[in-house]
């Protein structure tokens, strides 16, 4: 047993909160125990067992009170009823000591009141310091005080509890933090005192902490002669106002900026305006903001320097070898970050150094108007096979040198990519016609034939042979078995083709057989758009155990690549294959086979026919052809 508590309930019928002669009075007693029903209660008055009478009633389970609560009720209170009442709780048959609680009933017994001491209604303290919140309780008997949060829903006290009881009315807090700020409620408990409406009061806790500012650090670029506005903003702090703001340039104190006009609220930022960016005004600016508790700093690096270039790492087949020498060349591509932020670029300084060597070749690369996203190119020559090189590229404007970017280039064996006159790629060669696996996808396409395929491969999906129907014929496919997951993508990227015609036609065979088939997409990547991929064709779902042919018209605006994207479906029966890819200049056939040329695999049923989806310009182009 534990937690012996009592309640004094004045006459409920007469809605009184005071003890008055001639009215009824109820005393209740309760302890916590398991099992609760084994607890027995005994009442005493002035040290003697209380005797029941018409005016003194004892109830073991009062229906108006918590379960297994004993009550002693005095009817028509007389002066002779004043005295000390004792409730003793026992747990028969168990080595548990009795618990008792004592209640004094007299003319001095009064209900409680609660208030906040003068000057303690608002408590202000710095973060990390200890403090205490206090409420004063008067009454006889004096009940305990319950503390809780007011202004935050379901907020817990620092103890981790929604309620905390104190006997002296003080809530002690150690190392207060900013999230403890707010309104706290103190209220009288209904137990160990009068069972009346709780009295309550409130205390406001303000936790002061240093300011937090934005930006903590900012790189500001601007063209020479243009103005710049630097702003340091107060995000949060207590007090939430700026008491002082000090600006420095390269560590030297600057005159204070013009005063901010007085507004209804304290200013929440400080600004410094530079009329024009010059070489002399470029450098580090610092704004220190204070709020009487602490300070925080905004750092600004002001410059007219150009941003660094950003190398393009997806250049197809960048290495070119020279048969008559041991040299190779490398196609270096890049874009310029935010070229319009500063003065126009004049040139780049290129530095090329063989690894493990000291000397570097330096060259200036002149440029004209450079636009954001524009892909720039320079061919590095006279590189020695098979050495690697460090390349450093620095932009120059009228201000001078900008930020430098560097990368390492490695020699790789060049791949002889097919050109449009090579007609069809059957994937018979290990170099797969210059196609490469995308490094940013989830998994790779696999080259195989009927002789090299896994004998334990999943049945009821994938082709048994290539489009030629011979065991030796190769094709490309994606394997949908584990560890592949729904939505995983595999991308096969073609070599780079120069656009010498307005229209091209991509023809290929596809095999999409299995109840878990995902999607097969054909994308076109235009190099002059910063490697932007656009959808040209898509097909989803089970199309039967057949090879079918698709003809997709495309109209690239510049050098381009085609990408076959296989997307894994909902399960392992979702292998997708492609074969015999052809890229030709001109329009696609006006009348396609219905369905597109179909090759039925031995033992399969009639093919399930479906038309592919077309996007944007491709759909418009086909409509024009039908007219």
Contact 417, 400 (CB under 8 A): no
Helix (H, G, I), strand (E, B) or coil at 616: helix
Q: What is the pLDDT of residue 617?
A: 42
Q: What is the pLDDT of residue 457?
A: 79
Q: What is the pLDDT of residue 625?
A: 36
Q: What is the pLDDT of residue 153?
A: 65
Q: What is the pLDDT of residue 12?
A: 62
CA distances from 212 to 207, 269, 272, 298 (A): 15, 11, 19, 10
Q: What is the pLDDT of residue 88?
A: 92
Q: Name the helix (H) or strand (E) containing 540.
A: strand 532-540
Backbone angles phi, psi at 339, to 5 degrees: -65, -25
Q: What is the pLDDT of residue 622?
A: 33
Q: What is the pLDDT of residue 267?
A: 78
> How many angstroms separate the CA atoms of 545 and 352, rounded?
54
Q: What is the pLDDT of residue 621?
A: 37
> How many angstroms separate the CA atoms of 343 and 399, rounded?
8
Token digits of residue 510 = 């596809």
Q: What is the pLDDT of residue 14?
A: 63
Q: What is the pLDDT of residue 221?
A: 96
Mean pLDDT, 10 residues at a time, over the chain (627 residues)? 81 70 89 85 92 90 80 91 91 80 86 92 95 92 90 76 89 92 91 85 95 96 95 93 92 75 60 93 95 95 96 84 82 95 97 95 95 94 94 97 96 64 80 90 94 84 91 93 93 86 92 95 80 89 95 89 95 94 90 47 42 41 37
- Domains belonging to the chain, first-starting first, are 2-108 (2.60.40.10), 111-209 (2.60.40.10), 215-255+267-303 (2.60.40.10), 309-409 (2.60.40.10), 420-626 (2.60.120.200)
């Amino acid at each position: 047993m534990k937690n012996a508590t009592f309640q004094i309930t004045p006459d409920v019928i007469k809605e009184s909160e005071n003890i008055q002669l001639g009215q009824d009075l109820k005393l209740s007693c309760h302890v916590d125990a398991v099992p609760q029903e084994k607890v027995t209660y005994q009442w005493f008055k002035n040290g003697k067992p209380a005797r029941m009478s018409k005016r003194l009633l004892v109830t073991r389970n009062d229906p108006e009170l918590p379960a297994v609560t004993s009550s002693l009720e005095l009817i028509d209170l007389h002066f002779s009823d004043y005295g000390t009442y004792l409730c003793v709780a026992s747990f028969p048959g168990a080595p548990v000591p009795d618990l008792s609680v004592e209640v004094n009933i007299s003319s001095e017994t009064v209900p409680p009141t609660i208030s906040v001491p003068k000057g303690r209604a608002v408590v202000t303290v710095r973060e990390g310091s200890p403090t205490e919140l206090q409420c004063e309780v008067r009454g006889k008997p004096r009940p305990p005080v319950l503390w809780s949060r007011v202004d935050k829903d379901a907020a817990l006290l620092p103890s981790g509890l929604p309620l905390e009881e104190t006997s002296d009315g003080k809530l002690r807090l150690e190392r207060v933090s900013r999230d403890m700020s707010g309104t706290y409620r103190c209220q009288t408990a209904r137990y160990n005192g009068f069972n009346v409406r709780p009295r309550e009061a409130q205390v406001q806790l303000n936790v002061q902490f240093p300011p937090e500012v934005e930006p903590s650090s900012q790189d500001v670029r601007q063209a020479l002669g243009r103005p710049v506005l630097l702003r340091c903003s107060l995000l949060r702090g207590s007090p939430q106002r700026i008491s002082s703001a000090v600006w420095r340039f390269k560590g030297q104190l600057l005159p204070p900026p013009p005063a901010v006009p007085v507004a209804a609220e304290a200013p929440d930022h400080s600004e410094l305006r530079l009329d024009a960016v010059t070489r002399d005004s470029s450098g580090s600016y610092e704004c220190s903001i204070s709020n009487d508790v602490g300070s925080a700093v905004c750092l600004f690096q002001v410059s007219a320097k150009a941003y660094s270039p950003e190398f393009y790492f997806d250049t197809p087949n960048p290495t070119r070898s020279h048969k008559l020498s041991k040299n190779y060349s490398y196609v270096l591509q890049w874009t310029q970050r935010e070229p319009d932020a500063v003065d126009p670029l004049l040139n780049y300084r290129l530095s090329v150094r063989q690894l493990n060597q000291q000397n570097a070749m330096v060259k200036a690369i002149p440029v004209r108007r450079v636009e954001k996203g524009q892909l720039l190119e320079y061919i590095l020559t006279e590189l020695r096979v098979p050495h690697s090189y460090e390349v450093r590229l620095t932009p120059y404007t009228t201000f001078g040198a900008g930020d430098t970017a560097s990368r390492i280039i490695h020699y790789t064996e060049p791949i002889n990519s097919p050109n449009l006159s090579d007609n069809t790629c059957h994937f018979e060669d290990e170099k797969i016609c210059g196609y490469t696996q995308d490094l940013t996808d989830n998994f790779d396409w696999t080259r195989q034939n009927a002789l090299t395929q896994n004998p334990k491969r999943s049945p009821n999906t994938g082709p048994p042979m290539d489009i030629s129907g011979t065991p030796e014929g190769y094709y490309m496919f994606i394997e949908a078995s584990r560890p592949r997951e729904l939505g995983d993508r595999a991308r096969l990227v073609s070599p780079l083709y120069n656009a010498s015609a307005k229209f091209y036609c991509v023809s290929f065979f596809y095999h999409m057989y299995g109840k878990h088939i995902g999607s097969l997409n054909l994308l076109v990547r235009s190099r002059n758009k910063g490697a932007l991929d656009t959808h040209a064709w898509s097909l989803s779902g089970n199309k039967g155990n057949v090879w079918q042919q698709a003809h997709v018209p495309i109209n690239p605006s510049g050098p381009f690549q085609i990408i076959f994207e296989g997307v894994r479906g909902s399960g392992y029966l979702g292998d997708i294959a492609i074969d015999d890819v052809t890229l030709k200049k001109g329009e696609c056939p006006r009348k396609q086979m219905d369905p597109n040329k179909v090759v039925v695999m031995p033992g399969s049923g009639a093919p399930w026919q479906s038309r592919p989806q077309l996007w944007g310009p491709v759909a418009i182009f086909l409509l024009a052809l039908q007219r």
